[in-house]
Chains A and B, each alone.
Chain A
Amino acid sequence: MLIAFYIAGVIAVVSTIMAVTRSNAVHALLYLIVSFLAAAVVLFVLGAHFAAALEVIVYAGAIMVLFVFVIMMLNIGGETEKAKERWLVPKRWIGPALMAAILFAILSYAILNQPVATASLSIVEPKTVGISLYTQYLLGVEIAAVMLMAGIIGAFHLGYTKRKSKHRFLKGE
């Protein structure tokens, strides 16, 4: 299982790097799906089976499909960055990369200096998650439901365009 963790981890990191550096949006999206799938494997290996399933279904499935739809609607599947050969010049990525590296270094320091470094991971059953979700976190669930509702209404409202004419035959007049 440790081997699986390492392999999935490497795949996740590599495909994520590929996803953020591709100039073609569709390619980036495909790498991202790979990244999420790899992350799902990691979660599975860590013992969070239910979370891994959700990762595949919601992230790699539903959310990515939304992205695909939008990319299709906007028709930017091809060369999104106009100056393709110039966009990954060091001037553009060296600053953010440095910043991310510093952040990573700080986070690593925080992780590796944990007082109980030898702690082990244990499996958390979906059943306990479900019980916790509907007892202790019931209010959170309600709030999440309201938020999803708000998201749906907001998306609908934003996507709604007023018709310019009442009937399609009258359009030209």
Chain B
Amino acid sequence: MMEQIPVEQSLLLAALLFGIGLVGVLIRKNMILMMMSVEIMLNAAGMAFIIAGSRWAQPDGQVMFIFILTMAAAEVAVGLALILKLFHLQKSIDADEMTQMNDITEASESN
């Protein structure tokens, strides 16, 4: 019915999207954009599941995709609520400014 799409190439596409999402998480300071990058990574993982499911002609891949989707939805809801809360408290959503939970200042005092 159609030309066969190579498994490797589609998996490579998923891996590439995953990598780009990882770069996004690592270089963005804005928490909302970091979450978007996480969505990209989740989407790439789901895509890999679907490809694998199609490869073996099994429905499990798509089932997993649906679960990932559900999880992503819940995660975004809670995560965005957290970001809102944080913005109320700190007036900022810059991840680099939220370093209060470090162990460096106390470290120099205790020893």
Answer whether A and B touch in the complex at a CB cut-off of 8 Å.
yes
Contact A66 B24 (CB under 8 A): no
Contact A13 B39 (CB under 8 A): no
Q: Among A62, A76, A99, A121, which residue has its beta carbon within 8 angstroms of that of B30?
A: A76
B98 at the interface (CB under 8 A from A): no
Give bound CA distance, A81 to B87, whole Å.
16
Pairs A–B under 8 Å by Cβ, sample size 28: A9-B9, A20-B21, A25-B30, A28-B36, A39-B17, A42-B47, A46-B51, A59-B39, A66-B76, A92-B27, A96-B23, A96-B26, A96-B27, A104-B18, A107-B12, A112-B8, A117-B8, A120-B4, A121-B5, A122-B54, A122-B55, A133-B66, A140-B63, A144-B66, A144-B70, A151-B78, A154-B77, A159-B84
Q: Which residues of chain B have C-beta atoms less than 8 A from A122's C-beta?
A: 54-55, 57
- B side interface size, CB within 8 A: 70
A170 at the interface (CB under 8 A from B): no
Distance between A122 CB and nearest chain B CB, rounded to angstroms: 4
Closest residue of B by beta carbon distance from A70: B80
User: Which residues of A are interface residues toward B (Cβ below 8 A)?
Assistant: 1-2, 5, 9, 12-13, 16-17, 19-20, 25, 28-29, 32, 35-36, 39, 42-43, 45-48, 50-51, 54-55, 58-59, 62-63, 66-67, 69-71, 73-74, 76, 80-81, 87, 92-93, 95-97, 99-101, 103-104, 107-108, 111-112, 114, 117, 119-124, 128-129, 131-133, 136-137, 140, 144, 147-148, 150-152, 154-156, 158-159, 161
Q: Among B11, B16, B47, which residue has its beta carbon within 8 angstroms of that of A43?
A: B47
Distance between B72 CB and nearest chain A CB, rounded to angstroms: 7
Distance between A104 CB and nearest chain B CB, rounded to angstroms: 4
Contact B74 A151 (CB under 8 A): yes
Q: Which residues of chain A have C-beta atoms less than 8 A from B32's C-beta?
A: 25, 67, 70-71, 74, 76
